[in-house]
């Protein structure tokens, strides 16, 4: 029993393999068929986007799928090359080798291996929480900006020209300069394919439904748009002999299963690639887990973040040893897999078998496949990632979230991918710290006829001239400790009659060492001014921690269980008067504390 539990823990596949039945099998097989058809053009196109030979895209869609099937926790996630990670791979590998060279291909392998290791290390060290530091606006801005970059990078294939550049600033002039040299047949193929794919995405399904085609079949046919596009354009190129006219094609792709590979160890190059690999892991993980969670929720299943790390790590290691490049869970293909009826990861295993079959038997068919058609499939698929709606919503909802998002977008487009994500994360953390560094602080007084204390600015409450009761609505830590110090000195200086200060700690969940130092300083300065410092409503864990320091021994006043107890001790007369006053209705509105 124990053995089985442990096996399940590390090999989630065991749990769904038990009880696998015929209906599961049918669902998985059909889904695999659809996803395979979808993956053929995608894997060739994303390999092109990553600057890698086309077969690398196929290889990355075989072993990684099987590795994820064994170790991943999502039942329907479909792993493989995806657009964002492909561009990140190109940017990282391009820094150490020329696109398409042997050392470039090797760099992509190293990136896959390092990503795998980083993901597995995150699983072992339980560092999955690091992904939460990528706030949604930053991720959303990042994906929008990368989608724009990707679309821009594919324009050269639509035009049939050369134009290199990692940022929009580099790409735009290169494209404008090269545009007059565009190859007309290429432009024609590219434009027609793009228009067709847009239509297939938005107009085909409604049309089929109008012809009484069943919804599920209409869906699948609409998804097969890219396959139709590459078949049609390949035929046109072959029949009209457009290669002679300068149309770039995929060309000869070696047939066969992925050769085994192991990237050669080179400390300098690996060290140079590590930050990019870490970023690829993090972005890949975030993208993948949100897809996995969305799908799992639809069937009331749960996804374990740590198992996801293991699954994705295994998939990337598998990519590294089978001549692939970094992979992650893709949104579009996972949704297709799910909608086509996949029940378990066996669908992915069947998909891997399908792609392997293609790699062994059908590569000669890609000889006349025009690059412009692949570029069209990339452009149409990434344009759906550009999410201006969220930009607009974020602008309306919060300027600080918007500025983190805007910084990410602008820096990705102008400076680069890594700088962009770094700028976004840094800005969102700084803005968060800045916000909490100026916590809401309220002077409170007793609500007549009750034992409750509320903000003097929002309620008609009773206060004592000798006692200043202050409620801080935030934990006390390094970023806000000095603010409290300054605030308190200001208030005490303005009120010469004050003899006691009571800090109401009901909202203080933590006091860190910096804040403790500040409290010591506050205590000291108040003492010199003849003012006693008290605490009230200190939470249990906070009090336990304070007892590990000398602060409570130095404290000039007392620690009161409740603010009411504090006031009845420090100013019994006023408290008695407040207790006896008629209760006010207002209290029930606890909202405005």
Binding to a copy of itself in span 259-298, by CB under 8 A? 297-298
Q: Per CB under 8 A, which of residues 444..503 are in contact with a copy of itself?
A: 451, 473-475, 477-483, 489, 493
- Written as six digits, the tokens of 281 are 């892991």
H helical segments located in 200-299: 205-210, 215-223, 225-240, 267-298
Query: Nearest approach, Cβ of 476 to a copy of itself (angstroms)?
Result: 12
Q: Nearer Cβ to a copy of itself, position 112 or 442?
A: 442
Q: How many CB atoms lie within 10 A of CB 86?
A: 28
The SS3 assignment for 352 reads helix
The SS3 assignment for 547 reads coil
Q: Nearer Cβ to a copy of itself, position 199 or 478?
A: 478
Query: Nearest approach, Cβ of 457 to a copy of itself (angstroms)?
Result: 12
Residues 16-55, one symbol each (x = binds a copy of itself by CB under 8 A, - = not), give ----------------------------------------
The whole-angstrom separation of Cα 91 and Cα 106 is 14
Q: Per CB under 8 A, which of residues 377..396 are in contact with a copy of itself?
A: 393-394, 396
Q: Does 308 bind a copy of itself (CB under 8 A)?
A: no
Query: Nearest approach, Cβ of 69 to a copy of itself (angstroms)?
Result: 24
Q: Does 437 bind a copy of itself (CB under 8 A)?
A: yes
Q: Does 361 bind a copy of itself (CB under 8 A)?
A: no
Query: Nearest approach, Cβ of 79 to a copy of itself (angstroms)?
Result: 21
Query: Nearest approach, Cβ of 578 to a copy of itself (angstroms)?
Result: 16
Residues 135-174, one symbol each (x = binds a copy of itself by CB under 8 A, - = not), give xxx-------------------------------------
Q: Nearer Cβ to a copy of itself, position 347 or 522?
A: 522
The SS3 assignment for 506 reads coil
Query: Nearest approach, Cβ of 389 to a copy of itself (angstroms)?
Result: 11
Q: Does 357 bind a copy of itself (CB under 8 A)?
A: no
- Which window, 129-137, 199-207, 239-247, 495-503, contacts a copy of itself (CB under 8 A)? 129-137
Among the listed residues 116, 121, 112, the one whose alpha carbon sits nearest the alpha carbon of residue 261: 112
Q: Does 343 bind a copy of itself (CB under 8 A)?
A: no
Buried b (16+ CB within 10 A) or exposed e, 553-572: eebebbbbeebbebbbbbbe
The whole-angstrom separation of Cα 424 and Cα 410 is 10
Q: Does 422 bind a copy of itself (CB under 8 A)?
A: no
Q: Nearer Cβ to a copy of itself, position 175 or 484?
A: 484
467-472/441-446 β-pairing:
antiparallel
The whole-angstrom separation of Cα 589 and Cα 593 is 8
Q: Does 563 bind a copy of itself (CB under 8 A)?
A: yes
Buried b (16+ CB within 10 A) or exposed e, 5-41: eeeeeeebbeebeeeeeeebeebbebbbbbbbbbbbb
- Whole-angstrom CA distances from 409 to 134, 141, 145, 170 are 14, 5, 5, 16
Query: Nearest approach, Cβ of 137 to a copy of itself (angstroms)?
Result: 5
Q: Per CB under 8 A, which of residues 503..562 are in contact with a copy of itself?
A: 506-507, 509-510, 512-514, 516-517, 525, 528-529, 537-540, 543, 545, 548-550, 561-562
Query: Nearest approach, Cβ of 405 to a copy of itself (angstroms)?
Result: 8
Q: Which DSSP letter does residue 131 get? A: G
Q: Which of 398, 556, 584, 586 binds a copy of itself (CB under 8 A)?
A: 398
Among the listed residues 279, 274, 269, the one whose alpha carbon sits nearest the alpha carbon of residue 417: 279
- Whole-angstrom CA distances from 541 to 493, 548, 557 are 32, 11, 20
Q: Which of 21, 129, 268, 271 binds a copy of itself (CB under 8 A)?
A: 129
Torsions phi, psi for 590 (to 5 deg): -70, -15
Among the listed residues 83, 126, 58, the one whose alpha carbon sits nearest the alpha carbon of residue 331: 83
Q: Does 362 bind a copy of itself (CB under 8 A)?
A: no
């Amino acid at each position: 029993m124990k053995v089985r539990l442990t096996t399940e823990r590390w090999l989630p596949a065991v749990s769904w393999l038990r009880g696998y039945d015929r209906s599961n099998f049918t669902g998985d097989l059909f889904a695999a068929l659809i996803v395979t058809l979808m993956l053929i053009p995608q894997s060739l196109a994303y390999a092109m986007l990553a600057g890698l030979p086309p077969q690398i895209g196929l290889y990355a869609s075989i072993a990684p799928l099987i590795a994820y099937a064994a170790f991943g926790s999502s039942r329907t996630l479909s792993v493989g090359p995806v657009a964002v990670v492909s561009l990140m791979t190109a940017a990282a590998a391009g820094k150490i080798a020329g696109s398409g060279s042997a050392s470039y291909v090797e760099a992509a392998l190293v990136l896959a291996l390092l990503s795998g290791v980083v993901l597995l290390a995150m699983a072992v060290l339980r560092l999955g929480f690091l992904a939460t530091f990528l706030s949604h606006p930053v991720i959303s801005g990042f994906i929008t900006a990368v989608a724009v970059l990707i679309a821009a990078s594919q324009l050269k294939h639509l035009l049939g020209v050369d134009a290199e550049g990692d940022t929009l600033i580099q790409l735009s002039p290169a494209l404008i300069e090269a545009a007059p040299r565009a190859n007309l047949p290429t432009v024609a193929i590219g434009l027609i394919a793009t228009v067709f794919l847009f239509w297939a995405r938005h107009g085909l399904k409604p049309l089929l439904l109008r012809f009484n085609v069943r919804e599920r079949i209409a869906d699948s046919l609409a998804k097969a748009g890219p396959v139709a596009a590459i078949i049609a354009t390949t035929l046109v190129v072959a029949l009209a002999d457009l290669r002679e006219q300068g149309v770039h094609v995929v060309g000869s792709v070696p047939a066969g299963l992925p050769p085994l590979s192991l990237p050669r160890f080179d400390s300098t190059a690996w060290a140079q690639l590590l930050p990019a690999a870490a970023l690829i892991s993090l972005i890949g993980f975030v993208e993948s887990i949100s897809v996995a969670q969305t799908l799992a929720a639809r069937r009331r299943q749960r996804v374990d973040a740590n198992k996801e790390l293991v699954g994705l790590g295994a998939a990337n290691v598998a990519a590294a040893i089978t001549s692939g490049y970094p992979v992650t869970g893709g949104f579009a293909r996972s949704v297709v897999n799910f909608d086509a009826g996949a029940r378990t990861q066996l669908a992915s295993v069947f998909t891997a078998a399908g792609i392997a079959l293609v790699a062994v038997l059908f590569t000669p068919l890609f000889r006349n496949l025009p690059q412009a058609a692949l570029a069209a499939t990339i452009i149409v698929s990434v344009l759906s990632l550009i999410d201006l709606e969220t930009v607009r919503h974020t602008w309306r909802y919060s300027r600080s979230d918007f500025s983190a998002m805007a910084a990410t977008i602008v820096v990705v487009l102008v400076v680069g991918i890594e700088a962009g994500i770094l700028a976004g994360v840094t800005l969102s953390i700084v803005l968060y710290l800045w916000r909490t560094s100026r916590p809401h602080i309220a002077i409170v007084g007793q609500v007549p006829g009750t034992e409750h204390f509320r903000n003097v600015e929002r309620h008609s409450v009773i206060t004592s001239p000798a006692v200043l009761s202050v409620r801080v609505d935030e934990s006390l830590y390094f970023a806000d400790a000095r603010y409290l110090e300054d605030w308190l000195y200001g208030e005490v200086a303005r009120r010469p009659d004050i003899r006691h200060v009571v800090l109401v700690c009901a909202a203080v969940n933590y006091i860190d060492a910096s804040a403790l130092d500040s409290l010591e300083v506050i205590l000291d300065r108040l003492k010199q001014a003849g003012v006693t410092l008290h605490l009230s409503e200190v939470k249990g864990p906070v009090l336990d921690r304070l007892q590990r320091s000398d602060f409570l021994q130095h404290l000039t006043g007392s620690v009161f269980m409740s603010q009411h107890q504090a006031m009845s001790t420090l100013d019994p007369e006023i408290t008695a008067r407040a207790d006896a006053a008629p209760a006010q209705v207002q209290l029930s509105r606890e909202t405005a504390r």
